[in-house]
Amino acid sequence: MDTLPLELLIQVIGFASLDAFKETPLAVHPHLAVPLSHVCRRWRNATLNVSSFWCIVYNWYSRDLVLACLARSRALPLRIRVDLATVDAHQWFIDLLPTTMYRAYSLCIRQLGRCKDPRGMLSKILPALHRPAPCLKEFTIDIDVRNPIFLPIIFSGKTPTLRHLSFRSILWSPGNIFKGLTYLELLSGSRAQCQCLIDVLRSNPLLETLLLSGAFPSTIAAERRIKLPRLRKLDIRDSPWTVVHRFLAQIELPPHCQLVYITGSMAPERNDHVLTSVLPTDLTYLHPFDRPTKLILGAPYTMSLCGSNATSCSTFEIFSSWVLDQQTFFEQSVASLIAISQRGSLMLEDVRELWLGPLGGSHIPAKPVVSPPVEMWAQLFDAMPQLETLAILPGFHFMRPARLRCARA
């Protein structure tokens, strides 16, 4: 390693530094630039002179290391992470935080839900959030409490142009106007309605990822439909379909968007309504559902419906908490698909590949499953004239569509 050019040595150290562990909890990987600087004099000089190695500030570092990071990073933007389970052990860091906000590029506040008084803890951090943060691009508050906490106007009313915003159990003031977002995640410990969501979406046409869990969108109809032409993924969880349906009707989803919906609704009484109860009659505004070429229907224990279109590259996934009878799974599935086709909720004319059966492949019912009548299979294949491949996972035998059509004739 001593023979490596300085530029290459710096690259090697950079790969081994903390920046290489972005997705890993910081407490697991302490600041690796410190031990690397102790290898030899050449490594020490290389490490200490590269400011970007010292741009990460974490409250579980020692006070001396944090101060060293602030000094050695010079004027570069900082990635700040705050994991606070107690106040006393890190009061020095809370006092220091306001002085770093003008350099903050990323700010992540976590673990407040483990405190005895999460609201009291957040109030101690608010003085830092009242400071301007012109460089801030990524902002996360993850509290995980049952009742959401209201966040007042922050950043002295001058909200920076964020790209990444993630709030758990946080409701914010309408005075906080977030613009420029490409990633928005709203999670709530309780089903709290987010009245500002429509306004935020309208102000962020460049949004690429939208994740909503328990954060109900506003039920007030928008004056005009919201266009999100760059949206790649929309993930909605823990929200009733009646609310989700109204919300989706206000958004114009692009064809290439991946739509994921996980519902906690109770299972319908009739088998043929297992899927129709969750799909609206009008899907013209939901491009991810538009003429799928591949369908996957099943789950080890609950109903799921996944589909994709090879031309538009759109995908959708619907997962429910409906516990199915494994013996009648195929009868339920086929009946649901027929009902969807007859109702017009999902156009099946272009489906070329159909997978039926429990996803995972290893789950085989203990008792023999009930085979749908041939007439029911025939109805299904009439609704899928382009079907070329039928795959039935463990628990039932394979039958070719051509054979079923002949049997009906």
The residue ranges of every structural domain in the chain are 1-54, 268-409
Question: What pLDDT does 32 receive?
Answer: 67
Structure tokens belonging to residue 31: 């600041």
Q: Answer whether residue 270 shows pLDDT above 80.
A: no
The stretch 317-339 carries a mean pLDDT of 76
Question: How far apart, in Å, are the Cα atoms of 396 and each of 112, 365, 369?
Answer: 50, 10, 7
Q: How would you classify the pairing of strands 294-297 and 302-308? A: antiparallel
In the structure encoding, which two tokens stand for residue 80, read together? 């700040």
Average of pLDDT values for 38-63?
80
Helix (H, G, I), strand (E, B) or coil at 194: strand
Position 385 scores a pLDDT of 92
Candidate ranges 245-254, 290-299, 328-337, 381-390; pick with highest mean pLDDT: 381-390
Task: Provide mean pLDDT across the span 66-81.
Answer: 90
Predicted confidence (pLDDT) per residue in 144-203, tens digit: 777 788 888 888 878 889 999 999 888 887 778 888 999 999 988 666 667 678 888 989
User: Is the pLDDT score of 407 beyond 50?
Assistant: no
**Given pLDDT bands bounded at 50, 70 and 90, which one contains residue 30?**
very low
Average pLDDT of every residue of the chain: 77
Q: How many other C-beta atoms lie within 10 A of the C-beta of residue 309?
A: 21
Q: What is the pLDDT of residue 409?
A: 31
Categorize the per-residue pLDDT at 325 as very low, low, confident or very high, splitting at 50, 70 and 90.
low
- Quote the CA–CA distance of 188 and 254 in Å, as a whole number: 26
DSSP class of residue 79 equals E
Number of residues assigned to the chain: 409
| Residue 99 in this model has a pLDDT that exceeds 50 | yes
Where is pLDDT greater, at 283 or 34?
A: 34
Give the separation between CA 304 and CA 310, rounded to whole angstroms.
20
DSSP states of 326-371: GGGHHHHHHHHHHHHHHHTSS--TT--EEEES-TTS----SSPPPP
Examine the pLDDT at 221 and tell me if it is beyond 60.
yes
Mean per-residue pLDDT for 245-266?
80
pLDDT surpasses 60 at 23: no
**197 in Cβ contact with 173 (< 8 Å):** no
Beta strands at 315-323 and 104-110: parallel, antiparallel or unpaired: unpaired
Q: Please state the rounded mean pLDDT for residues 385-391.
A: 88
Q: Residue 211 — pLDDT band, cuts 50, 70, 90? A: very high
Per-residue b or e along 380-394, where b marks 16 or more CB atoms closer than 10 Å to that residue's CB:
bbebbeebeebebbe
Average pLDDT over residues 84-101: 80
pLDDT of res. 279: 67
DSSP assignment of 302-323: EEEEEEE-TTT--EEEEEEEEE
The pLDDT, as a whole number, for residue 24 is 47
Q: Report which residue type is found at 180.
A: G
Cα–Cα distance measured from residue 136 to residue 108, given in angstroms and rounded to the nearest whole number: 11
Strand ranges inside 24-178, DSSP E: 56-58, 78-83, 104-110, 138-142, 149-151, 164-168, 170-172
pTM (2 d.p.): 0.81
**pLDDT confidence of residue 183:** 97
Q: At residue 166, what are phi and psi to the nearest 5 degrees?
A: -135, 120
